[in-house]
Amino acid sequence: MPETEKTASPLVEVKDLVKHFPIRGGVFLKEIASVKAVDGVSLSIHEGETLGLVGESGCGKTTLGRLILRLEEPTAGEIYFQGENILTYRPSRMRALRREMQIVFQDPFSSLNPRKTVAEIVGEPLRVHGIGSRREREERVLNLLEVVGMRRESLRRYPHQFSGGQRQRIGVARALALNPKLIICDEAVSALDVSIQAQVINLLQDLQGEFGLTYLFISHDLSVVEHVSNRVAVMYLGKIVEIAASDDLYTTPLHPYTQALLSASPIPDPTTRRQRILLKGDVPSPIDPPSGCRFHTRCLYARELCSRDEPRRRRQGYQRNKAHPEPLPSPRCMAGLRDFVREPATRQGLTLCYQ
């Protein structure tokens, strides 16, 4: 999707967000260690855009999405929604804010109550927030089902009577019930087959154009993220390693981890092959992450300072933001840097580290 320059303040802004899950043991169940699921993440999402969030399983993508919604309480950091720090909100004010922030869960079956009909599931947010009379809520539910392509006969049926794609459409209808500004799509299409994925993705894009929605699209499917996102953030072991406009990131990835990730994504053309970048070793444990740069244990270009100093991200312009020392030894990376020098209008920013 095309990238546009953002001038207004972001709808969502996260600053140095941290979430450590304690591990307890011993007779008195004292904290003996912690899982560093999210460790110092900063990013922003502008109104009307789609920010894709990609990375390996276990890197902290879902936890970050839940933190933004305050379904999990952060260990440290700040979360701003429309310029206000929502971590200072009392429960009553936070409950009112839920109308502006919704989520579509990964599993379209377990996220729906099997004991309730579709009418009850989609209408529950309206009932909880006391919106409209019973008749008005029923009319709203009917309208939402039509918006997501479901028939009127679906109202009195239960989740197990639908296919996976239909259940995900019900989840989308529930998320739209309160007219939110932000929807977090947490692996919203990963459990669906390819044809149903396309239907749900097209639906999400149509709804974004119709209602002006803002998405945080969490996925491990790089091709899907490329199709739907204005910008893409790459996450590794609890940290953001690169943020760029979608076109820039997929054509000239600058971080070695991003390059390796994209090299593993298949191209739908049997005559074209990517040069695969094989990373050494396994992903380190988030309980005891490596010192310095977290990627240095697997990086092909790691230097001594990588294991000693943690990269500091500097942002120059809107589009580019990455965490890696310069210059990169990779010819592919250096080609990207040359493009940046030649085309300052299209490469408006580049994060430099260890400076």
Give the tens place of pLDDT for each residue, 124-174.
999 999 998 999 999 999 999 999 989 889 999 999 999 888 999 999 999
Query: Mean of the per-residue pLDDT values for the chain?
Result: 84
Cβ atoms of 208 and 47 within 8 Å: the answer is no
Place of tokens 């007779």: 27
Look at the chain and report how many structural domains it folds into: 1
pTM: 0.84
**Is 318 inside any structural domain?**
yes
Establish if 104 belongs to a structural domain.
no
Q: What are the two backbone dihedrals, phi and then psi, of residue 104, each rounded to the nearest 5 degrees? A: -110, 120
In a domain, 116, yes or no: no
Model confidence pLDDT, tens digit, residues 51-69: 999 998 889 999 999 999 9
Closest listed residue to residue 171, CA positions, set 195, 190, 188, 191: 188
**Cα 23 to Cα 6, 20, 110, 178, distances in angstroms:** 41, 9, 27, 37
Give domain status of residue 301, yes or no: yes
Kindly state the tokens that stand for 98.
């839920």
Judge whether 183 lies within some domain: no
Instruction: Please give the structure tokens belonging to residue 304.
Output: 């001594």
What span, in angstroms and rounded, lies between the C-alpha atoms of 191 and 267? 21
Q: Name the pLDDT band for 13 (thresholds 50, 70, 90).
A: very high
Query: Can you give the pLDDT at residue 142?
Result: 94
Give yes or no for residue 1 having a pLDDT over 90: no
Q: Is residue 200 part of a domain?
A: no
User: 327 with 303: CB under 8 angstroms?
Assistant: no
Provide the edge-to-edge strand list for the sheet that holds 182-186. 101-104, 182-186, 214-218, 50-54, 231-236, 239-245, 321-322
Q: How far apart are CA 233 and CA 133, in angstroms?
A: 42
Which one-letter amino acid corresponds to residue 314?
R
pLDDT at residue 340 tops 80: no
Determine, yes or no, domain membership for 80.
no
d(CA 172, CA 125): 13
E-state strands within the chain = 12-25, 30-45, 50-54, 76-81, 84-85, 101-104, 182-186, 214-218, 231-236, 239-245, 321-322
Q: Residue 340 sits in which domain range?
A: 253-355
- Neighbouring residues of 110: CB distance < 8 A, sequence distance ≥ 6: none
Inside any domain, residue 298: yes
